[in-house]
């Protein structure tokens, strides 16, 4: 097959290599990760043997994100590229499938047992991608990242194994914190209403009914009918709090709360949750554990539970 220049540029690589790529430390394994959750987990497991760059920062919506020229340049120079898969990075799906032929591109959800995944009505034959919402599922992802780092960089395999063991112990503590803290929410208040369907695994893990105004991707608009239906439900079931998400517009959630107020039912915005992106870089909420701790603590507090004021490790910046 004759490869044209246009074809090469479409595939993303050779053209991008002409651009100035950001430098990588020579003595570390260089890794590009798509989401903050993957980047943080890789940093925790890789320690000082890896240098990790995340394509998506705080507040960035992975369903909508497209690679930039700078991203392509960084990926071209990296030893390893980690993406989520399960159609989370929907706009980059084709791009990553092309890259996979290079042999250093790995979807971190590849080894998750498929019988542990949720399907979704919106997408026949596809799974709900939001697996980070259940720390028990994130254990599988963490183990896959450990194995991938070890394969690429065998001389540091012992270090990756030790760091991964410590990180996974932290995930176990996080799971237990979720069980006990969310267990304090009264049964009738166990309804989590958010802008999009990111919390399906969270609901399954902790026994909450989960409703999103939009579907499983942020790419579909919520219709007025859907808002009306949910207002009815808030009023009928006397639900007192709904939640906004840091990576999704709060417009539909505000419409919902105003709709309920017009019917004489007060619904507060229970707080901002980190659904598809973490908090600010350099903060506790900007780590995987901090993100989940924040969500668990905010949800429990807003729905009548009794969480500790500043979360599992007394590290949350905004508590109750």
What does the binding site for Zn ion look like in residue numbers (CB under 5 A)?
Answer: 198, 276
For residues 63 and 219, is the Cβ–Cβ distance under 8 A? yes
Tell me phi and psi for residue 208, to 5 degrees: -115, 145
Least gap, CB of 62 to Zn ion (angstroms): 7
153 or 245, CB closer to Zn ion?
A: 245
Contacts of 186 (CB under 8 A, 6+ apart): 303, 304, 305
CB of 207 to Zn ion, least distance (A): 21
Q: In angstroms, what is the minimal distance from the CB of 198 to Zn ion?
A: 4
What is the nearest approach in angstroms of Zn ion to the Cβ of residue 54? 17
CB atoms inside a 10 Å sphere around CB 117:
18
User: Which of 16, 278 has the CB closer to Zn ion?
Assistant: 278
Q: Is 202 helix (H, G, I), strand (E, B) or coil?
A: helix
Q: Alpha-carbon distance 316 to 320, whole Å?
A: 10
Measured from the CB atom, the residue of 199 and 206 that comes closer to Zn ion is 199
Complex with Zn ion: residue 40 or 276, whichever CB lies closer? 276
Task: List strand residue ranges (DSSP E) for the chain, in order.
Answer: 29-33, 50-54, 80-83, 105-107, 119-120, 123-127, 191-194, 209-212, 241-245, 268-273
CB of 93 to Zn ion, least distance (A): 15
* Element holding 152 (H helix, E strand): helix 135-152
């Amino acid at each position: 097959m004759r490869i044209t220049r246009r074809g090469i540029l479409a595939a993303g690589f050779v053209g991008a290599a002409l651009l100035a790529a950001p430098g990588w430390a020579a003595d570390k394994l260089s890794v590009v990760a798509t989401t903050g959750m993957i980047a943080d987990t890789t940093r925790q497991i890789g320690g000082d043997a890896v240098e990790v760059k995340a394509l998506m920062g705080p507040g960035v919506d992975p369903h909508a994100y497209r690679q930039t020229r700078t991203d392509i340049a960084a990926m071209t120079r990296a030893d390893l590229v980690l993406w989520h898969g399960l159609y989370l990075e929907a706009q980059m799906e084709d791009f990553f499938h092309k890259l996979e032929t290079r042999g250093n591109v790995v979807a971190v959800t590849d080894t998750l047992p498929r019988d542990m995944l949720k399907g979704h009505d919106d997408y026949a034959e596809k799974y709900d991608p939001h697996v980070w919402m259940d720390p028990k599922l994130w254990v599988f992802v963490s183990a896959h990242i450990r194995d991938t780092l070890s394969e690429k960089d065998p001389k540091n395999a012992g270090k990756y194994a030790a760091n991964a063991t410590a990180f996974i112990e932290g995930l176990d503590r996080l799971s237990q914190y979720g069980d006990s803290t969310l267990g304090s929410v009264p049964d009738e208040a166990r309804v989590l209403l958010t802008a999009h369907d990111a919390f399906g695994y969270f609901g399954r893990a902790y026994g909450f009914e989960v409703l999103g105004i939009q579907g499983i991707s942020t790419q579909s608009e919520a219709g007025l009918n859907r808002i009306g239906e949910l207002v009815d439900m808030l009023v009928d079931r006397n639900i007192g709090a709904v939640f906004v998400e840091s990576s999704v517009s709060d417009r539909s959630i505000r419409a919902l709360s105003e709709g309920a107020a017009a019917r004489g039912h007060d619904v507060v915005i229970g707080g901002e949750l980190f659904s598809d992106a973490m908090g600010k870089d350099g903060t506790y909420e900007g780590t995987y554990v901090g993100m989940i701790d924040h969500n668990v603590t905010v949800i429990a507090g807003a729905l009548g539970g009794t969480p500790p004021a500043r979360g599992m490790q007394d590290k949350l910046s905004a508590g109750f």
